[in-house]
Chains A and B, each alone.
Chain A
């Protein structure tokens, strides 16, 4: 009778661990390296900076918005977003796109823009008052 509880408890603990381990894996991962995004081909959140030189194309009729992103290692990636351009896209310091990399383009389902902070530090004059 006692051993039954021990065996049962053991099974529960082992699988509870497995459950939590896998539960944490189900979240969508942030990825700041585009080579990883391209290699994996899974749904993820890619963060990067908009390439201003290449501009963007906006097709209002078909509601698509195409632009290029660049990551910290200067890898570039074409992003196609099914939707309209987010409001403060031009001034955004950082862009986070959620989606999947397929056939050379990143198909985004969601675009988040990070606005430059109002309170970013100016060069503080350290020479006193």
Chain B
């Protein structure tokens, strides 16, 4: 556990120094949100569209930034040293925590931008939206960490990542859109109880499966 924290700390401080992932993410978010803003231009759109658009931006920003964690290790050739000083599980937990913090940071920015730029994106039921936001971030961080570990050894890292991540993240995104829609309509939290249960089980499955198979992926 201590090792996991050290790996998290190492990634965090090197990210603060270089800002590889952070800059890419912020650029992406600004471009995507402003494109949506200009193309909609005060037009009255269905609320469902905003719910979908919000999670589309979240999904692709995760795709563009989160693969850095393992790819950068591979590029700098520090993979071997990392595997010498720590056991696989603590490496996974450290990287997962780093991705989680990064994702929370960037998604808070996206949500904030949506709320000030789009009047129609108004959440009526904060409880269910925040719950979905937290559970969704954990799910996205978990599955993107393990997929980043898988693709870091491949030659075509950029394209392989969204291709592998899309089918894994699809059920999660669908549920998140459904909950966001209901939160925007102001329905009580009991309406989306089934969706929230799906999110919780998805998170638990993803993290358990990742911890189990990370050993094998890391050694190869």
Contact = CB atoms under 8 A, between A and B. Distances in A.
Contacts of A23: 171, 194, 198
B208 A12 contact: yes
B204 A11 contact: yes
A16 interface: yes
Contact of A25 (B171, B194, B204, B208): B194
Nearest to A100: B187
Contacts of A25: 194
Contact of B201 (A5, A8, A19): A19
B204 A15 contact: yes
A52 interface: no
Give the most central of A16, A22, A25: most B CB within 10 Å.
Answer: A22
- The range of chain B's interface size is 10 to 19
B170 interface: no
| Secondary structure dominating the interface of A | helix
Interface in B148-192: 171, 175, 178, 191
A29 to B, nearest CB: 11
Contacts of A15: 201, 204-205, 208
Contact of A5 (B204, B205, B212): B212
Given A12-B208, A12-B209, A19-B197, 15 more contacts: A4-B212, A9-B212, A11-B204, A11-B208, A12-B205, A16-B201, A16-B205, A18-B201, A19-B201, A19-B202, A19-B205, A23-B171, A23-B194, A26-B175, A26-B194
